[in-house]
Structure 1
Amino acid sequence: MPELQDPRDRLIVALDLADVAAAEALVERIGDAATFYKIGYRLGYAGGLDFAARLARRGLKTFIDLKLHDIGNTVEEGVRSLSGLGATFLTVHAYPQTMRAAVRGAAGSGLKILAVTVLTSYDEADAREAGYALPVADLVALRARQAAEAGIDGIVCSAAEAVSVRGEIGPDRLIVTPGIRPAGASLGDQKRVMTPGEARAAGIDHVVVGRPITGADDPRDVAQRIVAEMA
């Protein structure tokens, strides 16, 4: 798997907060315990994209988690626009046409495209309800294989599927895992989870952690302990 120079880069703190002021305050509280932040729908649509650019100018890494999926031209041009933010990662859904368009849109920039296989809030019943005939594990493997063929930089999947995904994408692409919960933390709406240590042992490159950090009395301490556990 790709090696990282700074072990803090393995932890991505999910800034799933209501506004930029709250996100700025949290980043300041965490300080140098974390170097990588995720901005999704909630914050992204409340000024978070400009905030991501500011974080990048400060030397921090950002993960824009918008899970793009549309006709090819729309995805390509959207990715091209987002590539100017200085972000490190951007997500798209792992549909072949979408992935190929995203790769074209990111060409020539430093932006890495991650493909979301199956949302970690989905279990077998959820997948069946959504109309998928394949079991979750098989669907993840199929989409990971298609992502590698499309030239995607990495995969977002549950830690439970990390070993099979690694087999599909090879050693040089990234695996990024949401649904990570330190031992004893609430699962929230995640159904397929692991602890940070278990995720690292499974060959995960980056773990995404939100509420266990953002809701903690001492978010800096929780971030430090997660990094230490993965190390």
Structure 2
Amino acid sequence: MDSQRTIDGARVIVALDFPDAGGALALAAQLDPQLCRLKVGFELFVAAGPALVEALMARGFDVFLDLKFHDIPNTVASACRAAANLGVWMLNVHASGGSAMMQAARESIATCPRPPLLIAVTVLTSMDSGDLRRIGVERSAGEQVLELARLTQDCGLDGIVCSAQEARLLREAIGAEFLLVTPGIRPHDSEGDDQKRVLSPVEALRAGSDYLVVGRPITRAQDPLGRLHAISESLRAAE
């Protein structure tokens, strides 16, 4: 790993893809906040709201609020500020919202006592180059990711969400200090589900990923903590 990059705490972010607070809290009770952070996305946040985020933080977990804000600059700035005031560790916006939107988001949280990490989504890991062509983007998935990553970096954000398959290219193009958060992480004995551009945890780490988002391989495991321990041990051995 690149010695210039210092990662604070656990690399694994467990995606709490549950329809309600009960399932999310039950899974969190089986995990160790020393080994992982937790991601709260659209469905769960709409169902359970800020109270769930506060409950997870009260249990010692850092929370990545994955709502992918994408709107006019003022609206996104207000939403980011509200998330920062909630105390989340990380939040995100869509890079395709453009420079003005991303800069407004960054400025809105800059004066918070503990500003969260602010990252941008490039190309969803459920999409490949064929999907992009169907919505009018002629670049390949990798080219589009790189273009949006450079835009995000120019806007002063902390990093991006990208596929681990693009991590090595991005490291070479944008340097060591920019955070790469990679969903679509699947241990070799897991099914790919709806993710199209996936790597194993160790493969992602070696490619340059900083934080690894893991969902179903942990949340649907018979022993979620055991699965988390196994992934964490494999990452430590690879560093």
| DSSP-derived class of the 1:30 partner | coil
User: Is 1:22 paired with 2:28?
Assistant: no
User: Which residues of 2 match residues 137-148 of structure 1 at below 5 A?
Assistant: 137-148=142-153
8 Å Cα contact 1:114-1:153 kept in structure 2: yes
8 Å Cα contact 2:120-2:157 kept in structure 1: yes
| DSSP-derived class of the 1:12 partner | strand
| DSSP-derived class of the 1:29 partner | coil
Matched residue pairs, number?
229
**CA–CA distance in 1 between the matches of 2:28 and 2:49?**
13
Query: Which of 115, 134, 140 is matched with 1:135 structurally?
Result: 140
| DSSP-derived class of the 1:44 partner | helix
8 Å Cα contact 2:25-2:56 kept in structure 1: no
Q: Which residue of 2 aligns with 1:99?
A: 102
Q: Which residue of 2 aligns with 1:81?
A: 82
Which whole-Å deviations, capped at 9, do the CAs of 1:129-166 have from their partners, x for residues lacking one?
Answer: 11112111111111000111000111100001112222
Q: Which residue of 2 aligns with 1:215?
A: 220
8 Å Cα contact 2:65-2:92 kept in structure 1: yes
Change beyond 3 A, Cα 1:5–1:115: closer
Query: Which of 110, 113, 117 is matched with 1:112 structurally?
Result: 117
Runs of 4+ in 1 over 4 A off after TM superposition: none
**CA–CA distance in 2 between the matches of 1:34 and 1:50?**
23
**CA–CA distance in 2 between the matches of 1:145 and 1:153?**
12
Displacement of 1:2 in angstroms is: 2.7
Gaps of 5+ in 1: none
| DSSP-derived class of the 1:31 partner | coil
**CA–CA distance in 1 between the matches of 2:34 and 2:57?**
16
Q: Which residue of 1 aligns with 2:129?
A: 124
8 Å Cα contact 2:14-2:37 kept in structure 1: yes
8 Å Cα contact 2:63-2:88 kept in structure 1: yes
8 Å Cα contact 1:33-1:220 kept in structure 2: no
User: Which residues of 2 match residues 129-208 of structure 1 at below 5 A?
Assistant: 129-208=134-213
Displacement of 1:53 in angstroms is: 2.2
Q: Which segment is superposed worse, 164-173 or 66-75? A: 164-173
Change beyond 3 A, Cα 1:106–1:37: same
User: Is 1:59 paired with 2:94?
Assistant: no
Displacement of 1:217 in angstroms is: 0.7
8 Å Cα contact 2:129-2:139 kept in structure 1: no
Change beyond 3 A, Cα 1:21–1:75: same
Fraction of identical pairs, as percent: 42
Displacement of 1:54 in angstroms is: 2.5
